[in-house]
Amino acid sequence: MPTDRSMTDSSAGVLNASGTNQVAPNGAKKPKLRRRRLRESDVNVVDQPMLKKALGGTIVGNTMEWYDVGVFGYLITTMGPVFLPDADKSVQTLFLLGTFAATFIARPLGGVVFGWLGDKVGRQKVLAATLMIMAASTFAVGLLPGYAQIGIWAAVLLVLFKVIQGFSTGGEYAGATTFVSEYAPDKRRGFFASFLDMGSYLGFALGAALVSVLQLTLGQDTMEQWGWRIPFLLAGPLGLIAVYFRSKIEESPQFQATLDAQENLAKDATASDTAASKGPVGIVKAYWRSLIVAMILVAAANTAGYALTSYMPTYLTESKGYDELHGTLLTIPVLVIMSLCIPLTGKLSDRIGRRPVLWIGAISTVVLATPAFLLIGIGEIWSTLAGLSLIAFPVTFYVANLASALPAQFPTASRYGAMGIAYNFSVAIFGGTTPFIVAALINATGNDMMPAYYLMATSAIGAVAIYFLKESAQMPLPGSMPSVDTQAEARELVATQDENPLIDLEHMDMPMVPAPAADSAAGRVDAGKVPARA
């Protein structure tokens, strides 16, 4: 959080924040300034029960979001005849894939609006609102009449409700990653944030499993008549449960500290001169480099992720001759195993760093994409499972770490807004459109290997972006004080701050104070000593 660096004195003028002596208007010399040392009271000791509650409250929203993604992705071949019965099957598929893409095109606006609100009024309030809108729009899809009842308006309404859902989802993942990152202790942020994506892919698997059970028990004809509605209608009660859990969580301590500091500085002209106060335009101007790096990484990760989840059932059915049931069932065990491995790669990033783990994701995508689709092309169940597993491997390393690496690129006061912009614009352009793009590429070229080439290209560009990513493992979030698990760890952190490479007072934006006063306030005997990193 930006702090008051002006240190104005009504009788003597302005102290020089550069640390050099400055002569005031009355001729008196002002003392040398430096960053105030870290105190034990500055360090946030994580409330473990509240952390678990916050984690659960955010996971349910992500699970809900991806439940719908899974349901819609696995019902594409079923819903085509419901909304465009007279069209060719390939046209039906492209329409549903285009509708899926429209959901993501609406995300950037939602990311900008909800991100701005999240930095203004708080993460918890906005996350509750996004979840309610998301659940309501999914439920409404299940109530839609088909083409037989209202003609082409059925397709129009389907697109409308999916766009509304995309708008609300624009604030969901950006807010959830921001929220959990701000709650988690610095040394375990990668581990806790990775649970968000574990919940996401389990939600997807849940939606896929439900569709498979319905297809198996009801049959394709009944599914086209009314069975397709059931998964969407279940979003109503599931959404109410999720909203209940989310309403029980409190605002993140890091953001609450930022709000308190903003209130204390409300009368200071410099306090409002921040990127967050200038809205999305100010955020883009201030952090455009970090935004570009984040967008490229999101594009690389989500291209692989959506190819595995939303497009693969259609690919197996349309290009590889599997029926709808097997096209759905084959991906479920791969998704479940991958989901359970995601926290392990998140924990690995806490040990060796975010960048090395992301390197594994990018390089393995380039290396494994072609063998993966060649195995799928054999057409046997064992080879298809092996091919899907090769795609899932890099996705596990990608998604587990974006949730912790990307929020750490932006300061607390602008974090939700920046994440809303970076994540949602990238997902809209590259992630959600992946099924549509690769299907169009296959139709245009007749080459079933086009998905592999597309994944390789996006990950090759993503590998370049990782080089420019700032490492953030175990470090305090920009603009925030350190977060630790215990009070003993807080005491040790303060005692060793001069030697600790993870502590950067500039990075935490500590206030400027007169050097002797700062050292005496910290209880030091060598009051004149200035820490090397200050």
The CATH number linked to 399 is: 1.20.1250.20
**Are 384 and 316 a contacting pair, CB within 8 Å?**
yes
Q: Tell the residue number behind the tokens 């060719």, with chain if given.
A: 88
Task: For residue 496, tell me if it sits in a domain.
Answer: no
pLDDT score of 53: 85
Task: For residue 86, tell me if it sits in a domain.
Answer: yes
Residue 508 pLDDT > 80: no
Question: d(Cα 96, Cα 290) in Å, to the nearest integer?
Answer: 34
126 and 32 assigned to the same domain? no
**Are 110 and 167 a contacting pair, CB within 8 Å?**
yes
End-of-domain residue from the set 468, 490, 521: 468
- Pairing label, strands 483-484, 13-14: unpaired
Output phi, psi for 240, to 5 deg: -65, -40
- CB within 8 Å of 72: residues ≥ 6 apart: 96, 100, 162, 310
For residue 386, count CB atoms less than 10 angstroms from its CB and return exposed for 0-12, middle for 13-18, buried for 19 or more. Answer: middle
DSSP assignment, residue 513? Answer: E
404 and 518 assigned to the same domain? no
Provide the residue range defining the domain that includes 368.
44-265+278-468
Instruction: Write a three-state SS string for 432-501.
Output: CCHHHHHHHHHHHHCCCCHHHHHHHHHHHHHHHHHHHCCCCCCCCCCCCCCEECCHHHHHHHHHCCCCCC
Task: For residue 20, tell me if it sits in a domain.
Answer: yes
- Pairing label, strands 44-45, 483-484: parallel
Q: How many CB atoms lie within 10 A of CB 475?
A: 19
pLDDT score of 260: 66
pLDDT score of 271: 42
Average pLDDT over every residue of 502-509: 73
- CB within 8 Å of 421: residues ≥ 6 apart: 108, 111, 112, 115, 280, 283, 284, 291
DSSP assignment, residue 4? Answer: -
448 and 335 assigned to the same domain? yes
Question: d(Cα 163, Cα 64) in Å, to the nearest integer?
Answer: 16
pLDDT score of 228: 93
Which percentage of the chain shows pLDDT scores above 70?
A: 86
18 and 75 assigned to the same domain? no
Residue 7 pLDDT > 50: no
pLDDT in tens, 368-426: 999 999 998 888 889 999 999 999 999 999 988 999 999 999 988 889 999 999 999 99
Q: Where are the alpha helices (DSSP H) in 75-152?
A: 76-83, 89-105, 107-121, 123-143, 147-150
pLDDT band at 1; cut points 50, 70, 90: very low
pLDDT in tens, 103-147: 878 889 999 999 999 888 888 888 888 888 988 999 999 999 999
Question: d(Cα 91, Cα 113) in Å, to the nearest integer?
Answer: 34
Question: d(Cα 229, Cα 30) in Å, to the nearest integer?
Answer: 73
* SS3 (DSSP) at 427: helix
> DSSP secondary structure string, 330-360?
THHHHHHHHHHHHHHHHHHHHHH-HHHHHHH
Farthest-apart Cα atoms in the chain, separation? 91
pLDDT score of 516: 59
Q: Tell the residue number behind the tokens 């007749």, with chain if given.
A: 446
Among 312-316, 431-435, 494-498, where is mean pLDDT lowest? Answer: 431-435
At what angle are helices 172-183 and 48-74 packed, to 10 degrees? 160
Task: For residue 102, tell me if it sits in a domain.
Answer: yes
23 and 72 assigned to the same domain? no
Average pLDDT over every residue of 58-79: 83
pLDDT score of 72: 86
Among 28-37, 179-188, 225-234, 467-476, where is mean pLDDT lowest? Answer: 28-37
Q: How far is CA 476 from CA 50, 295, 339, 348, in A?
A: 19, 22, 27, 18
Residue 502 pLDDT > 50: yes
In the predicted model, what is the mean pLDDT of the chain?
82
pLDDT score of 188: 94
Task: For residue 363, tell me if it sits in a domain.
Answer: yes
Among 29-33, 356-360, 519-523, where is mean pLDDT lowest? Answer: 519-523
Question: d(Cα 456, Cα 356) in Å, to the nearest integer?
Answer: 19
523 and 408 assigned to the same domain? no
340 and 384 assigned to the same domain? yes
- Angle at alpha carbon of residue 321, lines to 319 and 325, rounded to 5°: 110
Task: For residue 506, tell me if it sits in a domain.
Answer: no
Q: How far is CA 331 from CA 207, 310, 387, in A?
A: 12, 10, 10
End-of-domain residue from the set 414, 436, 468: 468
> DSSP secondary structure string, 366-377?
HHHHHHHHHHHH
Instruction: Write a three-state SS string for 257-314.
Output: HHHHHHHHCCCCHHHHCCCHHHHHHHHHHHHHHHHHHHHHHHHHHHHHHHHHHHHHHH
End-of-domain residue from the set 443, 468, 493: 468
Most confident of 224-233, 316-325, 434-443: 224-233
pLDDT score of 21: 47
Task: For residue 273, tell me if it sits in a domain.
Answer: no
Residue 288 pLDDT > 60: yes
Residue 435 pLDDT > 60: yes
Intra-chain end-to-end CA distance of the chain, in Å = 17
61 and 28 assigned to the same domain? no
Residue 30 pLDDT > 70: no
In terms of Cα–Cα distance, which of 76, 427, 429, 411 is closest to 261? 411
10 and 83 assigned to the same domain? no
pLDDT band at 262; cut points 50, 70, 90: low
411 and 430 assigned to the same domain? yes
- CB within 8 Å of 489: residues ≥ 6 apart: 45
For residue 398, what are its two tokens?
């990608």
Q: How many CB atoms lie within 10 A of CB 288?
A: 10
Residue 3 pLDDT > 50: no
Q: Tell the residue number behind the tokens 């569709």, with chain if given.
A: 211
Task: For residue 88, tell me if it sits in a domain.
Answer: yes
195 and 84 assigned to the same domain? yes
179 and 95 assigned to the same domain? yes
pLDDT score of 462: 95
For the chain, the domain total comes to: 2
pLDDT band at 155; cut points 50, 70, 90: very high
Question: d(Cα 205, Cα 197) in Å, to the nearest integer?
Answer: 12
Q: Tell the residue number behind the tokens 């064992």, with chain if given.
A: 382
Among 2-11, 49-58, 163-172, 453-462, where is mean pLDDT lowest? Answer: 2-11
**Which amino acid, residue 163?**
V
For residue 19, count CB atoms less than 10 angstroms from its CB and return exposed for 0-12, middle for 13-18, buried for 19 or more. Answer: middle
Question: d(Cα 125, Cα 234) in Å, to the nearest integer?
Answer: 24
pLDDT score of 62: 82
- CB within 8 Å of 391: residues ≥ 6 apart: 304, 307, 308, 312, 368, 369, 372, 455
pTM, full prediction: 0.80
pLDDT score of 29: 60
**Are 390 and 88 a contacting pair, CB within 8 Å?**
no
pLDDT score of 9: 35
CA dihedral 4, 9, 13, 16 (to 10 degrees): -40
